[in-house]
């Protein structure tokens, strides 16, 4: 397969007619034949739109193993930083943004030396000079890197570019968040095609057990996550489960880190007096008792997540953030009822209540 085949239909006809010549010019100029970087080059030179670039990255998936043309990396070639943001002395090329959090952005990046795609989280430009937020960001990278568990996202390296932006590379998970799985289940019910309940619940229990294993391990290392929610749990294409985003994680018994970033919606992380996401906070979290937070707070959040997976709707509701925070602070949650009136297994509801 030609390295530019994935571009077919995504560039206009004039560009496509000259694609082989453009690829040859790219190779000669940049000293690499990397197809992903070629697509990025076309984007930077105005020949490939941003949505099309994302589609190329999705189509290409993992690079072919053993291709000597792809594996070759010429150190004497011109620096690709002319069109790809890179940190000095490291081989990550940012290909496209895939997400954004309270402190930084997450990109798909190419590890040029090992010829693999990774996720690269970089601190937002707004906080590049804020030492408190930089400390939080570094704390996230270091804590995640030290939690060596099959269900916790592995970190590969920490980088600082010439502008002083912190960033770290981690495993790129090709899959869906629990939030997406809940929305897909809702869509199935609303379209008259509900999933096999018994099979789905068995799969969900396996996912939750893996998350519990990961959090149990973190607690054994005296680390509390403090921001467990469906958005921060990834399920890979082959059943892998990863607990993500340890930005609010804290080693129990250590002082609270400074820095405040606030969100204006119940689904966003709030950092400040109360840390976490309102709809998944334990009462002590919502009350701002940060110094006393322990493993029980994460366990409470896991109970709320399990209720949402069973019922297909949030366990803590409110029209405003203030209402959600008040309900969370009082330990209030919705009576478990399936969104589409399916029966709920009492033994799982008992686990939710205990959590």
Q: What is the 3-state secondary structure (H, E, C) of the chain?
A: CCCCHHHCCCCCHHHHHCHHHHHHHHHHHHCCCCHHHHHHHHHHCCCCCHHHHHHHHHHHCCCCCCCHHHHCCCCCCCCHHHCCCCCCCCCEEEEEEEEECCCEEEEEEEECCCCEEEEEEEECHHHCCCHHHHHHHHHHHHHHHHCCCCCECCEEEEEECCCCCEEEEEECCCEEEHHHHHHHHHHHHHCCCCCCHHHHHHHHHHHHHHHHHHHHHHHHCCEECCCCCHHHEEEECCCCEEECCCCCCEECCCCCCCCCCCCCCCCCCECCCCCECHHHCCHHHHCCCHHHCCHHHHHHHHHHHHHHHHHCCCCCCCCCHHHHHHHHHCCCCCCCCCCCCCCCCHHHHHHHHHC
- Catalytic site residue from 34, 36, 111, 227: 227
Nearest to 42 by CA among 63, 62, 59, 21: 21
Domain that holds residue 36: 1-83
Instruction: Give yes or no: residues 183 and 245 share one domain.
Output: yes
Structure tokens at 41: 């080059």
Express as a percent the part of the chain with pLDDT over 70.
81
Rounded to two decimals, what is the model's pTM? 0.74
**pLDDT > 60? residue 208:** yes
Q: How much is the pLDDT for 24? A: 79
Instruction: Give yes or no: residues 288 and 277 share one domain.
Output: yes
Instruction: Give yes or no: residues 180 and 114 share one domain.
Output: no
**pLDDT > 90? residue 27:** no
Nearest to 95 by CA among 82, 87, 106, 79: 106
Which of 172, 199, 232 is a domain's end point? 172
CATH of the domain at 120: 3.30.200.20
Q: How many CB atoms lie within 10 A of CB 5?
A: 11
Instruction: Give yes or no: residues 286 and 313 share one domain.
Output: yes
Q: Which of 61-75, 178-192, 327-341 is predicted least confidently?
A: 61-75
Instruction: Give yes or no: residues 327 and 237 share one domain.
Output: yes
Which of 125, 141, 172 is a domain's end point? 172
- pLDDT tens-digit map of 285-299: 999 888 878 999 999
In whole angstroms, what is the distance from residue 28 CA to residue 139 CA? Answer: 42
Instruction: Give yes or no: residues 79 and 91 share one domain.
Output: no
Domain count, the chain: 3
Instruction: Give yes or no: residues 182 and 327 share one domain.
Output: yes
Instruction: Give yes or no: residues 40 and 157 share one domain.
Output: no
**Where is pLDDT greater, at 276 or 78?**
276
Q: Which of 47-51, 57-61, 314-318 has the highest mean pLDDT?
A: 314-318
Instruction: Give yes or no: residues 2 and 132 share one domain.
Output: no
Mean pLDDT of the chain: 81
Instruction: Give yes or no: residues 32 and 8 share one domain.
Output: yes
Instruction: Give yes or no: residues 258 and 284 share one domain.
Output: yes
Which of 60, 83, 106 is a domain's end point? 83
Instruction: Give yes or no: residues 277 and 347 share one domain.
Output: yes
Q: Is 76 a catalytic residue?
A: no
**Where is pLDDT greater, at 18 or 180?**
180
């Amino acid at each position: 397969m030609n390295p530019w085949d994935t571009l077919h239909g995504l560039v206009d006809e004039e560009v496509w007619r000259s694609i082989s010549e453009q690829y040859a010019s790219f190779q000669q100029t940049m000293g690499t034949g990397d197809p992903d970087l070629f697509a990025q080059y076309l984007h930077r030179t105005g020949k490939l739109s941003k949505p099309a670039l994302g589609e190329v990255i999705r189509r290409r998936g993992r690079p072919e193993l053993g291709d000597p043309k792809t594996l070759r990396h010429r150190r004497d070639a011109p620096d690709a930083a002319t069109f790809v943001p890179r940190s000095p002395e490291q081989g990550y090329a940012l290909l496209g943004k895939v997400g954004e959090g309270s402190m930084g952005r997450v990109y798909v990046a190419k590890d040029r030396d090992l010829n693999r795609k990774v996720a690269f989280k970089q601190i937002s430009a707004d906080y590049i000079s804020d030492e408190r937020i930089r400390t939080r960001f570094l704390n996230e990278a270091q804590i995640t890197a030290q939690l060596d568990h099959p269900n916790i996202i592995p970190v590969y390296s920490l980088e600082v570019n010439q502008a002083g932006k912190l960033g770290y590379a981690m495993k790129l998970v090709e899959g869906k968040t629990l939030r997406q799985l809940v929305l897909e289940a809702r869509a199935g019910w609303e379209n008259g095609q509900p999933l096999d309940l018994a099979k789905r619940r068995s799969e969900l229990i396996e996912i939750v057990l893996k998350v519990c294993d990961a959090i149990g391990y973190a607690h054994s290392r005296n680390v509390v996550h403090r921001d467990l929610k469906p958005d921060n749990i990834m399920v890979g294409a082959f059943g892998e489960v990863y607990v993500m985003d340890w930005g609010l994680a804290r080693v129990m018994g250590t002082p609270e880190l400074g820095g405040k970033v606030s969100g204006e919606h119940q689904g966003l992380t709030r950092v400040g007096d109360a840390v976490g996401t309102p709809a998944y906070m334990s009462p002590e979290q919502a009350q701002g008792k940060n110094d006393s937070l322990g493993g029980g707070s994460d366990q409470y959040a896991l109970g709320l997540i399990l209720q949402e997976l069973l019922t297909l709707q949030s366990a803590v509701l409110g029209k405003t953030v203030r209402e959600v925070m008040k309900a969370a602070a009082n330990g209030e949650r919705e009576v478990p009822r399936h969104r589409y009136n399916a029966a709920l297994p009492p033994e799982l509801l008992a686990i939710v209540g205990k959590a």
